[in-house]
Structures are given as C-alpha cells and as structure tokens.
Amino acid sequence: MKKILLLCLFPILALASSCNAQSPDDVRDVATAVEKLRAAMMSAKAADLNAIAADNLLYRHSSGTLETKAQFVDTIVSGRSVFVTIDLTDQQIKVTGDTAIVCHTFNAKTNDNGKPGSVKIGIMLVWQKQKGEWRLLGRQAFRM
C-alpha cells in the first residue's frame, strides 16, 4: 500500500519541489487556509467546514476510507469524528500557480462517538485557488 501511495504521489511531489515560483504571500495565504481548516475541524460547524472545502473534495483517511465533501462535513458535524485538540507540526508548503501542496504531521486528541483517543498521522493536502480563495481539494492521510 505504501509503495502504491508513493508511486501515485511522486509525480505531484516532484513537480511541486521543482517549482520555485511561489510567492511569500501565497505561502502565507495557504498557511492561513490550513489554520482555518484546523479551526473548522475543531469547531465542528458545518458552515466553516463547507466554506474551506472545495465542492469536489476527496478526503482520504489513514484507514483508506474515502469521503466526498458532504461525507467529510457530516462525519465531523455528527460527532462521529470529534477533535478535542489538533496540533500540526513539520509543515511544508509548496505553491505552483493556483495549486498548493501541504505536508505535515497531524497530532490530535479525539473523542469519536464519545470514546477518547489520540492520533498521530502524516497528511498531504492539495489546495486550489478558486475565485480568489484557497479551497481544500484533496487530502491523503497515512499512518506513521
């Protein structure tokens, strides 16, 4: 599974790392969008989650489950997935035109369906600038 993931991600990462055309403003704006996503996941407010996610979002969990935007929002709003804390570390941002790739480590305390837990996973986010705003287009999580 990891080999397949790496084979799929290699062209994207190679393209992102080879481009030096990113501006500090774009990197800052993408970092702000990542923070809005983190805050929206903690608040569990449908309006906040819908505002940051692209309509055609593909959101993959480390378990392999793939969700659409509607499923992603419902999972959090319904309480099936509850984040008590979310800490993002080792974040890297690469921007090329209207696309950005963000990689970080996702550390969280959870309370899914009333059951306390914790998670530490790797995340790759794909962002796209749509109508002047950065929207989450894709997410891939993986176990570390």
pLDDT digits (tens, 9 = 90+) for 48-96: 999 999 999 999 999 999 999 999 999 999 999 999 999 999 999 999 9
Integer CA distances (angstroms), 68 to 24, 56, 87, 94, in order: 31, 7, 24, 24
Average pLDDT over the chain reads 90
Q: Sketch the domain layout of the chain as residue ranges.
A: 2-143
Fold of 2-143: Nuclear Transport Factor 2; Chain: A, (3.10.450)
pTM assigned to the model: 0.83
Comparison of pLDDT for 51 and 15, the residue scoring more: 51
Strand arrangement, sheet containing 99-112: 66-67, 53-60, 133-143, 115-130, 99-112, 83-96
| Nearest of 15, 38, 35 to residue 99 by alpha carbon | 15
| Nearest of 63, 87, 67 to residue 75 by alpha carbon | 67
